[in-house]
Amino acid sequence: MNLQMKMIRNTLTTFTAMLIMWLVVPVQQVHAVTSWGIGASYELRDADPGKGFGLRLERGILSTVPMLDLKMRAHFSFFSDEVSSYRDAGLPAELDLFDYGIAVTGGLGFGLLHPYVGVGLGQERFRSESDAPILDFSENSTYWNLYGGLRFPILPMLSPFIEYRFTRLMDADDFDYNQNSRIAFGVTLSF
């Protein structure tokens, strides 16, 4: 199987699993802290490209305990950077990375601090563009991640948050790393 077919198969498999989980898991609206949420974030990674933006859509699920907040999350992040020397080659390159995935989040909702943790799966696409042929490539990889954070619900519908996420790539062929971490600063609008 050639590389392009493998990338298409990985992307379709990940997207299909995300869609099935999103449609099958029932919503419990009676006790859920929030039913839906949409958020945006500024994100910093410990690998190039290092700065980017993220979007997320959350949906409250299976919450039967008033203070427990269980959610299903779909997320997307985009990073872009121009570096003067990539992979110690001494040559400039333009780097782009986007990832998308689905996750399950569990948290506690009390007072002004709402801590949460989660686990998820997704797909990451990395692209390096350069005049040097060895630095001109793109790669897809499936990943799993663990994350934790704090929400600060300053208004009933508006919650700033800070989140740390650890990501482990499962099939990184051309990457010079197979794990990374990021910190995200953002805001979620709940409705």
Residues 147-152 have a mean pLDDT of 95
Structure tokens at 30: 């009676």
Our count of domains for the chain comes to 1
Span of 26-30, 37-41, 50-54, 88-92 with lowest mean pLDDT: 26-30
Share of the chain above pLDDT 90, in %: 41
Q: Residue 90 and residue 74: Cα distance in Å, rounded?
A: 38
Cα separation of the two ends of the chain: 45
156: pLDDT strictly greater than 80: no
DSSP string, 119-149: EEEEEEEEEEE-SSGGG-EEEEEEEEEEEEE
Residue 22's closest CA among 36, 5, 33?
36
pLDDT given at position 38:
96
Instruction: Give start and end residues of each alpha helix (H) in the chain.
Output: 3-24
Q: Please tell me whether residue 108 adopts helix, strand or coil conformation.
A: strand
Whichever domain contains 55, its CATH number is: 2.40.160.20
pLDDT for residue 85: 73
Each residue's pLDDT tens digit, 84-118: 777 666 778 889 999 999 999 999 877 788 999 99
Q: CB count, 10 Å around CB of 147?
A: 21
Which range has the top average pLDDT, 8-12, 120-124, 125-129, 178-182?
120-124
If one compares 42 and 91, the residue with the highest pLDDT of the two is 42
Average pLDDT (155-174) is 84
Task: Give the structural domain span for 80.
Answer: 3-190
